[in-house]
Amino acid sequence: MADVPTKTARAEWGTRFGFLMAMIGAMVGAGNIWRFPYVMGNNGGGAFVLAFLVLLFLLAVPGLMAEVALGRYTNKGVIGAFREVVGRGGMVGFGIVVLLVNVALMSYYSPLIGWTLYYAIHSLLFTFTAAGFEAETFMESFFANPPLMIALHTIVMGAIAAVLVLGIRRGVERLVVYAVPALVVALVIMTIRGLTLPGASEGIAFTFGIQWEYLTFSDTWIAALGQALFSTGLGWGIALTVGSYLREYDDVPLGGGVFTAIGESSIGILAALAIFPVVFAVGVEPDAGAGLAFISLVQVFPEIPLGGIVAVVFFLGFFLATFTSGLLITEVSVTTVSEETRLSRTQTVLGICGGIWLLGLPSAYSADVLDFLDFVFGNWGLPLATLAIIGVIGWILGPERLRLLAVNRNAGIYVGKWWDPVIKFVIPAVMLFIMGYFAWENFGEPEMIAGMFVIVLFPIVGYAIMSVVEGRHGEPDSAGVTGGDD
């Protein structure tokens, strides 16, 4: 083993701003740009904003504080953090569940980043404002070209590997401190352009008009709940990993909780202001997802003055939003595998990115596979990961212990006792409700069956792997921290 280099001291964020931008860069993704504005406008506008805001402060802010604090307290990636709390043994396998979900998520997110890259490149070529351009035909021919999709997926994973190989400070931090502000600037430019168009007020009214009756609809609250939990990336292991690189005297609750949850949602609000005034000014139907970004908006650009430039600004911003998320989703696995094995960071990055690339081929080949996986992991895989992380904090480590030992240590704001029951009871109950609700809504569907498969199989696989691996290093011990607290 003489040629295995000794691993040096753990990396740290170089600046506070770097940590904050990493959190925002990770959490702001495609959903903020192409889903949030439509969900908001379609669920009562201002009424949805109120429901969303309440749930953000009730669930996402405390949850993110807990996840970042666990990373900071243990100074380890997902598996190391779980081991620190539950002790050696099969239970550490719940950390494997989080990793598996992250790898699965990234396997279909990478092709999606490829879509945004493709549109960003075409915006730079001014394709969308060229004479005779047809948005729908262009998108259909793109989706019907698997070799191109696979090539883009390959480029994306290659680019992510290239940044991650450089490490936390020289790679991730150096990129996010420019990419996140650039995304905000891009959306601001588009907002200014949109608001100065005749007819833009229709878009504002669609998004911010208040329909109070929506607050009495369960659909509004379910939509707000989904947005508050999934948009903030709570419990996916990202906040834990980013938090594990905090420096000794860094704060957790203000930056990792309040700023991250509210800041990333602010970008969704800005996206609504950037997109819908333009869409309504031109008289195109509002939409969500690929239909909004790749058809509606693309139809809009030729119709507005400086449309070609606005398209460049929008698609570059969109690409940056998805790319930085992909970068940090991948970092979750890289950090943990690098810590848990004798592989160097470079070897780990190449192994993880290569594995994700391979697993992502079906999603790159077919958008239907991507949609299927997105539905399965969005509704059951990600809540399972959240349940694993928040569950281990709430029921094994204990929220009071974590709050006293990590959350309020060097904190920029004081977090009181109200936080403990939120972590122990409210968030786990909400995650169970979400998984149950979507299972009931899609009962018997192939997606639901696949979701149940994930819920059952991933913990078993994780438990089995860690039982074997941990057993090799001696007898499994009992947890160092037991019983939790109230």
3-state helix, strand, coil in the chain (%, to 5): 80, 0, 20
Site of tokens 């212990």: 401
Q: Is there binding between residue 414 and another protein (CB under 8 A)? A: yes
Of the candidates 144, 185, 358, 405, which one interacts with another protein according to CB under 8 A? 405
Residue 158 is a binding residue for another protein (CB under 8 A): no
Stretch that binds another protein, among 156-164, 254-262, 291-299, 468-476 (CB under 8 A): 254-262
One residue of 94, 259, 458, 463 binding another protein per CB under 8 A: 259
Quick check: 169 binds another protein (CB under 8 A)? no
By CB under 8 A, name the one of 7, 10, 16, 342 that touches another protein.
Answer: 16
Shortest Å, Cβ 254 to another protein: 5
DSSP code of residue 305: T
Q: How far is the CB of 275 from another protein (least distance, A)?
A: 15
Distance CA 236, CA 250 (A): 22
Determine contact, residues 389/165, Cβ cutoff 8 Å.
no
303 near another protein (CB under 8 A):
no
Say if residues 414 and 148 touch (Cβ distance below 8 Å): no
Among the candidate windows 1-9, 298-306, 457-465, 478-486, which touches another protein by CB under 8 A? 478-486
Give the binding range for another protein (CB under 8 A) out of 13-21, 300-308, 428-436, 460-468.
13-21
d(CA 66, CA 397): 11
Plot region of 429 (φ>0 → left; ψ -120 to 50 → alpha; else → beta): alpha
CA distance 260 to 28: 10
Identify the bridge partners of residue 45 per DSSP, sorted by sequence position: 210
According to DSSP, residue 145 is labeled -
Residue 104 is classified by DSSP as H
Of the candidates 332, 353, 366, the residue with the CA atom closest to the CA atom of residue 101: 332
* Residue 236 touches another protein, criterion: CB under 8 A: no
CA pair distance 379, 373, nearest whole angstrom: 10
List the end-to-end C-alpha distance of the chain, in Å, as a whole number: 47
Considering the complex, state which of residue 258 and residue 389 has its C-beta at the smaller distance from another protein: 258
14 touches another protein (CB under 8 A): no
Of residues 130, 185, 404, 449, which one binds another protein by CB under 8 A?
A: 404
Closest C-alpha to 93, from 391, 338, 390, 459 = 459
Pick the piece of the chain touching another protein (CB under 8 A) from 173-181, 260-268, 333-341, 469-477. 260-268
Looking at the Cβ atoms of 45 and 77, the one nearer to another protein is 45
**Nearer to another protein by C-beta: 24 or 175?**
24
Helix extents (H) in 306-445:
307-340, 345-365, 367-376, 382-392, 399-402, 419-421, 427-441
Nearer to another protein, 17 or 142 (CB): 17
Q: Contact between 12 and another protein (CB under 8 A)?
A: no
CB of 46 to another protein, least distance (A): 4
Q: Identify the residue among 49, 135, 186, 215 touching another protein (CB under 8 A).
A: 49
Nearer to another protein, 181 or 302 (CB): 181
* 231 contacts 224 by C-beta, under 8 angstroms: no
Q: Does 45 bind another protein (CB under 8 A)?
A: yes
Tell whether residue 401 is a contact of another protein (CB under 8 A). Answer: yes
Distance CA(447)–CA(432), nearest Å, equals 18
Asked if 480 interacts with another protein (CB under 8 A), we say yes
Beta carbon of residue 398, minimum distance to another protein (angstroms, whole number): 8
Burial of 485: CB neighbours in 10 Å, binned 0-12, 13-18, 19+: middle
Interactions with another protein, residue window 176-215 (CB under 8 A) = 201-202, 204-206, 208-210
Q: Are 118 and 319 in contact (CB under 8 A)?
A: no
Which CB sits closer to another protein, 22 or 373?
22
CB of 464 to another protein, least distance (A): 27
Interface with another protein: number of residues (CB under 8 A): 42
As a whole number of angstroms, the distance between CA 91 and CA 93 comes to 5
Q: State the residues that interact with another protein by CB under 8 A.
A: 15-17, 20, 45-46, 49, 53, 201-202, 204-206, 208-210, 249-251, 254-255, 258-259, 262-263, 265-266, 269-270, 400-401, 404-405, 408-412, 414, 480-482
